[in-house]
Structure formats: structure tokens, C-alpha cells
Amino acid sequence: MSITLSLWGPGLDWLPRPLRTREYWALVGRFGFFGPLIGGLPYVWLIITLPFVFAVGLAPALIAGMLYAAWWVTPGPRRPTPLWRATLGAICGTAGCAAVAWIVSPGSPGIPFVILAVHGVPAAIVLGLATRAEPRKQGDAP
């Protein structure tokens, strides 16, 4: 007699199709890694910059990356110009900073938002502009 334990889970099929692509998670990872580094450039003269930058900026960068990547990998015929990518990066960066500021200080998120947005929005604009410019064709599968 043999007893085996097996685990079953729902898998990733419940997620929307664009969120299951490698391109989506690569873009989220790029925002999560480079976003805090770009936003923390004014503090590069400090000795303990790297841990501080990632402790403060990782959550807004990941939220901004998830929003930007969800738009980027959605299929459809479009030619995103640099101005459009920069605008979308600014919108996603603002949303990420606002979400984290509201979580950190739900009573008065204004000051944390300003502190995060001063560094996070320019970083999201730079990363939006750094995204490859060639559009995906209508027939390409995500």
C-alpha cells in the first residue's frame, strides 16, 4: 500500500492572456529593477543608497510597471510614439506613487505622494521611453 500526497492548484489560466506572457513580466521586472535606480539618482552620493532606494521605490515601481506592461502587451494595431510612451509612463508612475502613498498614509497621503512622485514619475517616463518602439502586428499572439 502506498500513500501519495498530491497538490492541485488553479494554475495561471485564470489570469488574462497578456499577463501570462514573458514579455509582460520582463517589462514589469525592468520597471522594478531600473525604476528605483533611476529615481534614486539624486541620492547617489549617500553611502547606503541602494538598500534605501529599493526599500522606498520598489513597490511604486512594480505597480507602475504592471500598469504599463498591461497596456504594452495588449494586442492591437498601434504605433506608440515617444510622446505617447512618455505620457503613459508618467500616468503609470503617478498611479503607482499614489497607491503606495495611500497605503502608507491613508489619512493624509499628500506628503508621501509628493515625495514618491518627485522621483518616481521621471523614472517611469524614462523607462517608458526606453521601451522598444516597434509595434506588435495585429496577428501576433501575445
- pLDDT tens series, the chain, 142 aa: 777 877 777 777 787 887 888 889 999 999 999 999 998 888 877 767 788 888 889 999 999 999 999 988 887 777 788 999 999 999 999 999 999 999 999 888 899 899 899 999 999 999 999 987 664 554 555 4
Any domain includes 37 = yes
Domain tally, the chain:
1
Any domain includes 96 = yes
- Domain of 107 in residue numbering reads as 17-130
Asked if 29 and 127 touch (Cβ cutoff 8 Å), the reply is no
pTM: 0.81
Any domain includes 137 = no
Asked if 84 and 125 touch (Cβ cutoff 8 Å), the reply is no
